[in-house]
Amino acid sequence: MKAALLKVAREDFIPSEYRDYAYEEVPLPLPGAAATISCPHSYPLFYEPLGLDRGQRFLEIGAGSGYGAAVAREIVGGEGRVVSIEIDPLTHEFARRNLERAGYGDVLLVLGDGWLGYPAAAPYDRIAVTAACPGMPAPLIAQLVPGGRAIAPLVEDSRQVLTLATKQADGTTRSEPLCEVLYVALRRKRAGR
């Protein structure tokens, strides 16, 4: 994890007017509606409990600037696969440019509704949802391999709890609450749009 964070230049994934704040522990705004790049500590907070490792197939919901996908690509290596979904066209384009410029053109960046996942590249070993949702999206669990793990900030009453779910052999999940967090809400594509 540390090697991946040191290799990917976070400042290359941030709008130029915020580059001086690249390593500050604050979320920074991105092009698009309510889009941000998470605080630097957020990436190990998500990826370490997942056990993200070399050779795995990883799905990220909420591409943001592309930084998380680049860090994940460094971890899974060339023998792994990173797919990242972004719902906002402006944010998607920003991530695409950043990933290509930084040499991560092999990350599959999808414009779409992350709640639905991306079945065309499934199954996945690990899934990270980087926006708050009312529960772990069933389509994502369906795209996990048995023994696979998904992590997401789940809304519980007035708080968000980062939760790790492990898919069992029978298709059910075992969930473990990790800590309280604060993320933007997961956006869904509206019918007819």
CA angle 101, 106, 110 (to 5 degrees): 90
Task: State the DSSP code for 125.
Answer: E
CA pair distance 98, 101, nearest whole angstrom: 5
Q: Are strands 124-129 and 108-111 parallel, antiparallel or unpaired?
A: unpaired
Report pLDDT for 192: 52
User: What residues are annotated to the active site?
Assistant: 38
How far is CA 77 from each of CA 3, 17, 82, 86, 154, rounded to the nearest angstrom?
12, 31, 9, 22, 29
**CATH 3.40.1580.10 for domain 27-181:** no
Q: Are strands 159-167 and 144-156 parallel, antiparallel or unpaired?
A: antiparallel
Beta strands in 32-143 (DSSP E): 36-37, 57-61, 81-86, 108-111, 124-129
Dig out the tokens for 48 from the structure.
């370490």
Report pLDDT for 190: 74
Judge if pTM exceeds 0.85. yes
> Quick check: 191 pLDDT over 60?
no
Phi and psi torsions of 33, nearest 5°: -80, 120
Q: What percent of the chain has pLDDT over 90?
A: 93
**Whole-number mean pLDDT of the chain?**
96
Q: Using the Cα atoms of residue 105, residue 113, residue 149 and residue 8 in order, give the sign of their dihedral.
A: positive
> Quick check: 182 pLDDT over 60?
yes
Q: Are strands 124-129 and 144-156 parallel, antiparallel or unpaired?
A: parallel
Q: What is the pLDDT of residues 75-112, one digit of tens each?
A: 999 999 999 999 999 999 999 999 999 999 999 999 99
Q: In the chain, where are the structural domains located?
A: 27-181
Task: State the DSSP code for 41.
Answer: T
- pLDDT band per the 50, 70, 90 thresholds, residue 189: confident
Q: What is the pLDDT of residues 123-168, one digit of tens each?
A: 999 999 999 999 999 999 999 999 999 999 999 999 999 999 999 9
Crossing angle between the packed helical segments 67-76 and 89-101, to the nearest 10 degrees: 50
Spatial contact of 131 and 184, defined as CB atoms under 8 Å apart: yes
Contacts of 120 (CB under 8 A, 6+ apart): none
Average pLDDT, stretch 33-50? 94
Average pLDDT, stretch 6-12? 96
> Quick check: 193 pLDDT over 70?
no
